[in-house]
Amino acid sequence: MTGPSFTYGNGYPQMKATVATSATPAAAPAGDDLIRETSTRDFMKDVIDASVDTPVLVDFWAEWCGPCKQLTPILEKVVRAGKGRVKLVKMNIDNHPEVAGQLGIRSIPAVIAFKGGQPVDGFMGAVPESQIQTFIDKIAGPGGPSEIDVLVAEGDAAAEAGDLAEASKLYAAALRLEPAHFGATVGLAGVYVTAGEFAQAEQFLTTLPATAAGDPRVAAVRARIALANLSSAVDDVLALEARLDKDPADHQARFDLALALAGKDHRQAAVDHLIEIIRRDRAWQEDGARKQLLQFFEAWGPKDPATLSGRRRLSSVLFA
């Protein structure tokens, strides 16, 4: 690569530990999902974790640096023009010197590209726009969706439509082209969960890097596995409904019924029962109904109709 040398081996894990434990205040986003400021504390989330899915360019700069002020607007322009091929994270080294020091950066402006949770390339100085574009093309590949991106997108669509066989075929094709592809791996794990093959789903999740553990898609798959395991352990729906008919205040029966209904994909009914427990007795089982409801939302995803309506109803009950 051109520019600063990276510290691999012992240096990189040490950087991760520092990032995770620093108490530096969080920086505010720069106004969109492609460009943001970061801090030492948020470097793990904004750069390491984010780069598992999309390459991230880190612009190390300072207020006193004239060339930095020339480079940053050009970087922002090219990144926005890329429409999501890469993200840009800016770090003021005067306010947050730890990461730059551990990467061995001794001159700014310096731009380091992270991909898959690791620093992979970089450059120094206020280079022209054409050179930045060439650098991004090298990191992210040629413009436009790649063959793998198309396969994964089609797999996602097939999975959402319930065509598990087609989704599995498309994800597998993507993994043949790139065996460690994050989206295809998570997608295939989700297919196995839907099919009830939890051991296979877990096996795929274990192939992901440790930095992917906090990704919402991974968390959703794990929540679905946990929910399925809970649902399979409860009593028959009819027996639980009979218990509630005799005693509507039987919160345990209502809670178990919600799990059973969720396991059968009767999502709205499951939400109804947990909301009813919260309405009757918020403190029951140490706020257990609300906690389980949040697990439902995580498993179903933020855009699911049951999640959207459930969040609104939960807020109305809690803050009425």
Residues with a known catalytic role? 65, 68
Q: What does the alpha-carbon distance between residue 42 and residue 109 come to, in Å, rounded to a whole number?
A: 20
Q: What does the alpha-carbon distance between residue 239 and residue 242 come to, in Å, rounded to a whole number?
A: 5
Q: Which two tokens stand for residue 101?
A: 């020091």
C-beta of residue 124 within 8 angstroms of C-beta of residue 71: no
Q: Is 113 helix (H, G, I), strand (E, B) or coil?
A: strand
Q: Which two tokens stand for residue 43?
A: 């470097």
Q: Which two tokens stand for residue 261?
A: 């209904």
Number of helices (H) and strands (E) in the chain: give both, helices first: 15, 5
Characterise 159 by phi-psi region: left (phi > 0), alpha (psi -120 to 50), beta (else). Answer: alpha
Q: What does the alpha-carbon distance between residue 278 and residue 234 come to, in Å, rounded to a whole number?
A: 20
Q: Is 29 helix (H, G, I), strand (E, B) or coil?
A: strand
b (16+ CB within 10 A) / e for 216-250: ebbebbbbbbebbebbeebeebeebeebbeeeeee
Compute the CA torsion angle 314, 317, 318, 320 (nearest 10 deg): 140
Q: Which two tokens stand for residue 143?
A: 């413009």
b (16+ CB within 10 A) / e for 132-142: beebbeebbee
> φ, ψ for residue 264 (rounded to 5)?
-95, 10
